[in-house]
Each structure stands twice: as structure tokens, then as C-alpha cells.
């Protein structure tokens, strides 16, 4: 299951664009999605891509990814959280964005239950933040990728995408992300 079949998707009515694998569905077509989010999901693998426009938070630039990650982990009632890595994204990783934008990320692995089930699945989360200070906005991108499914989970039997393919997915989104001026 390669993420090679990418399609350019308009986000927020064309204000942003990003490449998303063709196999990912626009979640807003079958359930309500908040106006500040664009959500895409792959039913076969339970992977998801979420792009959010949030009010700029008053934290140091390098702490912004952890701020959003901690909020996400709390919302998901995540257990056994391991922070894998935090850092800065280089200009070549997001070539369509202005070099002066602060671009940073955090990667974590944790266990979460789907639909508040008892069974927990292990997932990896990539969370990137682009700080658009001139408009008071944080652009937050998170890719959620299951690492393993509990046999008791409603997702049991779904395809687990390997780490290399997940990294391809993340890179594809980041490298293609653009903002219309």
C-alpha cells in the first residue's frame, strides 16, 4: 500500500492546497467536521490526516508542537505515551511555504481506544506546526498512523502501514502544502 497515488486537494475553499493519497476520503462528506479542520481518512488502514487553522498560541515557537500534541493526547485519552522526537522542519521539507515561517514538529507513539472501546490500538502521531504570525494563526497538521491493532478492537484486521510508508505520507503532505496569497 504505497502513498504514490497522490491527488492535490483544496483546503479551506482553496486557501491552502496539499497532496493527499487518493485512498483517503474527505471525512466531511459523511460526518460533521469543525470549520477550522480539514479531515481525511483511509478506512482500510485507519490512518488520518487532519489540517487545522487555530489561533496563534502564546508559547515559544519550539514549544508549539508539544502544546498541540499534549492537547490532542488528552482529548484522545492516550495511554503509554512516548515522545519520539521534536524538532524544526527545514525549508526544503516545506518548499512551498515562506522560509521565514517557523515550522516545527513532534512525533509520539501512544495507545488509544477507538470509539471509547476497552481495547487499545497503538498509534504513531506526527504533528507539525507552521506559525503564521502575521495573521495570528497556527497551521497544525497531524497524521495519525496505527502501528498495531488490538484483536478486540473494531479495527482489528485492518491493514497496518509500515513506518517507511507513513513517512512517505507525511513527506508528501508537507512537501506539497501551499498557501494561496
Q: What local confidence, expressed as pLDDT, does residue 181 receive?
A: 67
Residue 147 parent element (H or E): strand 137-148
Distance CA 2, CA 60 (A): 36
DSSP secondary structure code for residue 62 in this structure: G
Task: Indicate the burial class of 94 (C-beta count within 10 angstroms; 0-12, 13-18, 19 or more).
Answer: buried
Q: What local confidence, expressed as pLDDT, does residue 162 receive?
A: 84
pLDDT means per 10 residues, the chain with 181 residues, are: 74 96 95 96 94 98 97 95 96 95 97 87 96 97 94 87 88 95 67
91-122 tens-digit pLDDT: 999 999 999 999 999 999 999 998 778 899 99
Amino acid at each position: 500500500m504505497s502513498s504514490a497515488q497522490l491527488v492535490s486537494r483544496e483546503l479551506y475553499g482553496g486557501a491552502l492546497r496539499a497532496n493527499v493519497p487518493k485512498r483517503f476520503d474527505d471525512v466531511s462528506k459523511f460526518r460533521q467536521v469543525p470549520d477550522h479542520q480539514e479531515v481525511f481518512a483511509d478506512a482500510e488502514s485507519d490512518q488520518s490526516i487532519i489540517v487545522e487553522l487555530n489561533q496563534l498560541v502564546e508559547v515559544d515557537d519550539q514549544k508549539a508542537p508539544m502544546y498541540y500534541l499534549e492537547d490532542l493526547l488528552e482529548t484522545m485519552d492516550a495511554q503509554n505515551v512516548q515522545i519520539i522526537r521534536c524538532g524544526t522542519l527545514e525549508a526544503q521539507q516545506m518548499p512551498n511555504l515562506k522560509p521565514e515561517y517557523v515550522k516545527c514538529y513532534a512525533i509520539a507513539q501512544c495507545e488509544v481506544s477507538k470509539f471509547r472501546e476497552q481495547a487499545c490500538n497503538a498509534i504513531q502521531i506526527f504533528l507539525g506546526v507552521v506559525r503564521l504570525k502575521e495573521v495570528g494563526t497556527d497551521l497544525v497538521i497531524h497524521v495519525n498512523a496505527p502501528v498495531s491493532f488490538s484483536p478486540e478492537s473494531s479495527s482489528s484486521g485492518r491493514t497496518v502501514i509500515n513506518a517507511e510508508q507513513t513517512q512517505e505520507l507525511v513527506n508528501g503532505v508537507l512537501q506539497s502544502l501551499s498557501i494561496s496569497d
